[in-house]
Amino acid sequence: MFDVILKCFTKLPSWHSIGLVIVAYVIYYFIQVVKRPILACSDGAFKQFLYSNIPTLEMKYWPTFWCFESRAQTVFASIIRSKNIPNVKYRREILTLSDGGEVALDWMEENCDEESPCIIILPGLTGESQAEYIKCLVYAANNVGLRVVVFNNRGLGGLTLKTPRLYCASNCEDLSEVVRHVSDIVPRKKLGAAGISMGGLILGNYLARKKDEARDHLAAAKIISVPWDVHKGTASIEKPILNNLLGRHLANSLCKTLSRCDIFKDTDVDMERIKMCKTIKEFDALFTSKQFGYAHVDDYYSDATLHNKLDNICVPLLCLSAADDPFQPLDAIPIKAAERSTHVAIVITARGGHIGFLEGWWPSSKEQYMGRLFAEYFTNALLEKTEEFQKITQDLYAAFVNKHHLPSSSKQQTEFSF
């Protein structure tokens, strides 16, 4: 039967064949690609607030028609944004940390005043304040009257490393100092935080480990394209062939970052061996895990992993993940944990890649799906005049306290698939 169909197809004029391919592509796009995002969140006031105040959640996500494959979204999003989004004019502040290290805080305050709410943004693995995805979020926030401060990790953003220590996904001590510093400047209940990729891991671990401090200083938080389970994430990025190419690019960026840090040249760090790393896991095994006192790289990854810590978070947290993220398989997204938690909601799109989420025929504008969701959430959480969100936050915390003092009943959870 298949042979008969194939023969009929090969006898068609070439333009007919092209037409059939186009029709099939369009049908596939409308049926398998364009979907409304899933919101994994416990039933209650937080979920109702999100649906009532964030219009993007009610709409289907329309990935760029010619670029919806996960790796294509990941790569082209970076290229297109870097070409079309101008550099941001920041006001730089150098913050000296308690151990003598330095981080750069880049403030974007145009069209804002001293009473404007503020969002601390944490870039990804080797990202800094002019990274294309950071600029996308900065402009999205600024367009709605929100201040932004980008937290550049040690040794990044053009800074010289002052102490023989970089950063890692599991350590949130530097972020803790940054949050306390910024909260002295920003009006109470008007400070939010957002982390992208590895920045999301750092922020998530901060929310889970320093929950009381986080609740005292942050009104709301958001993470984007976070590798929920670091073990599965590193395994996914090492899969051949395209995923592995992305992983090699990031590993090379890590090696370059370390090679620029002259302070390690007189230490026991084997720079020559590290420069030969081809994967992120190799780099973490030789450098990151050792620098932060882990016996094995798997111990570091277990400590950095976030998917099993959602129950400890007591700041309203909205997350954005794509089901096809090459850095994180769908089965690693903690849907059930989000449904059981009091403060966490995860938006899951069928497509989007890793920090991609391109949309439109030619996604050249500053506003994209990722930035629009970001602005809608923080506008309603930080700029509200009715204090609805503050009331919901109080109710959520009451539920959190009750949950952690009384036995909670198990509940059947819903399985999702794309």
Identify the band that residue 268 occupies on the pLDDT scale cut at 50, 70 and 90: confident
Of 273, 304, 335, the last residue of a domain is 304
Q: Is residue 360 part of a domain?
A: yes
Q: What's the pLDDT score for residue 410?
A: 37
Of 284, 304, 324, the last residue of a domain is 304
Q: Which domain holds residue 83?
A: 33-227+314-399
Q: Check whether residue 235 and residue 217 sit in a common domain.
A: no
- Number of domains into which the chain is organized: 2
Q: Check whether residue 215 and residue 322 sit in a common domain.
A: yes
Q: Check whether residue 144 and residue 75 sit in a common domain.
A: yes
222 token code pair: 């958001």
Q: Is residue 248 part of a domain?
A: yes
Q: Check whether residue 105 and residue 184 sit in a common domain.
A: yes
Q: Check whether residue 65 and residue 170 sit in a common domain.
A: yes
Q: Is residue 19 part of a domain?
A: no
Q: What's the pLDDT score for residue 234?
A: 94
Q: Check whether residue 136 and residue 280 sit in a common domain.
A: no
Contact at 8 Å (CB) between 387 and 198? no
pLDDT digits (tens, 9 = 90+) for 141-190: 999 999 999 999 999 999 999 999 999 999 999 999 999 999 999 988 89
Of 76-80, 131-135, 269-273, 304-308, the poorest mean pLDDT is in: 269-273
Q: Check whether residue 320 and residue 276 sit in a common domain.
A: no
- Strands 38-40, 344-349: pairing is antiparallel
42 token code pair: 């416990």
Q: Is residue 190 part of a domain?
A: yes
Reported pTM: 0.92
Q: What's the pLDDT score for residue 416?
A: 45
Q: Check whether residue 360 and residue 214 sit in a common domain.
A: yes
142 token code pair: 């600024």
Q: Is residue 334 part of a domain?
A: yes
Of 89-93, 97-101, 262-266, 414-418, the poorest mean pLDDT is in: 414-418
Cα R_g (the chain), whole angstroms? 22
Q: Check whether residue 219 and residue 245 sit in a common domain.
A: no
Q: Which long-range contacts (CB under 8 A, 24 or more apart) does 379-385 make?
A: 379/144, 379/146, 380/49, 380/53, 380/54, 381/192, 381/219, 381/220, 381/316, 382/117, 382/119, 382/146, 382/190, 382/191, 382/192, 382/219, 382/220, 383/117, 383/144, 383/145, 383/146
Q: Is residue 7 part of a domain?
A: no
Of 272, 304, 336, the last residue of a domain is 304
- What positions carry a catalytic annotation? 197, 325, 354
Mean pLDDT of 87-93: 97
Q: Check whether residue 178 and residue 56 sit in a common domain.
A: yes
Q: Is residue 76 part of a domain?
A: yes
Q: Check whether residue 173 and residue 212 sit in a common domain.
A: yes
Q: Is residue 26 part of a domain?
A: no
Query: Which CATH number does the domain housing residue 149 bear?
Result: 3.40.50.1820
Q: Check whether residue 115 and residue 208 sit in a common domain.
A: yes
Mean pLDDT value across the chain: 90
